[in-house]
Amino acid sequence: MTLLEAADIVSGYGDAEILHGVSIDVNSNEIVCIIGPNGAGKSTAMKAIFGLIPCWDGAVTYDGQNITDNRPDEITRKGMAYVPQNENVFPNLTVKENLEMGAYILDHVPQETLNEVYDQFPILEKRKNQRADSLSGGQRQMLAMGRALMVDPGLLLVDEPSAGLAPDLVDEVFDKIDSINESGTAILMVEQNARKALSRADRGYVLEMGENRFEDTGEALLDDDEVAELYLGGGSIDEESQSTGGD
């Protein structure tokens, strides 16, 4: 079942058109990743899907509903949540207060959901009374994802989850993304570590200059010689390599 369908999206900033008809689909319970070089429009696509910037043309449908012109809070109420790359926690609030802020659209903080987040991220329960600015980079990323999960979304958008993390923390964050997906939440992520993202993803999209360049399963994209040469730095699947970063 198609959960998200972004069809022929045209968008950008000011007078600058960044996306020239990008299309991205996510099915229920999938992990889908978007990769590509700097300036390809990856993060812009995520922002357009979530209503943070307007779609000038095209349409976004979520769970059968047209959400093209919806505000982010309206989209959140429909079951989608977004974890930005930067400024994704409130540094002066405690871990628990950050999580409670994730439920701002609800009438009350759902204790059951909070407990589920703590089960998913035990370190957050351990440090629930600490300020967020005392956490490590990896712990902050987990807090940002945990806060987004407080509305029990059907789809989680995650922008560059491994950005700025030490190599030994990258696998831990990706393991958490896998775990969130296994619990029933679909994932759409933009990721600079293209090899690692594709190795975890059901499907992937390669964007270039604001347009779709390739689309296939994660495994097929990893095995594609042209994709490897242009976007993965060449070499075999066993070599650890990072592609270029965000937009």
- 101-153 pLDDT tens trace: 999 888 888 999 999 999 999 999 999 999 999 999 899 999 999 999 999 99
Q: How far is 193 from 198, CA to CA, in rounded Å?
A: 9
Alpha-carbon gap, residue 233 to 53, rounded angstroms: 32
pLDDT of residue 30: 97
Query: Mean pLDDT across the stretch 168-184?
Result: 92
Whether residue 239 lies inside any domain: the answer is no
Q: Domain limits at 189?
A: 2-231
Q: Note whether residue 240 is domain-resident.
A: no
Confidence of residue 166 (pLDDT cuts 50, 70, 90): confident
Mean pLDDT of the chain: 92
- Which pairing describes strands 203-208 and 211-217: parallel, antiparallel, or unpaired? antiparallel
Residue 247 inside a domain? The answer is no
Among 184, 189, 186, 152, smallest CA distance to 174 is for 189
Whether residue 33 is predicted with pLDDT greater than 50 in this model: the reply is yes
For residues 30-44, average pLDDT: 95
User: Does residue 196 lie within any of the structural domains?
Assistant: yes
Whole-number pLDDT of residue 240: 35
The reply to whether 237 falls in a domain is: no
Residue 7 located in a structural domain: yes
Q: Residue 200: which CATH number?
A: 3.40.50.300
At 183-229, the pLDDT tens digits run 999 999 999 899 999 999 999 999 999 999 999 999 999 999 999 99
pLDDT greater than 90 at residue 233: no
First to last CA, the chain: 30
When divided into structural domains, the chain yields a total of 1
Q: Is residue 14 a part of any domain in this protein? A: yes
> Does residue 41 form part of some domain?
yes
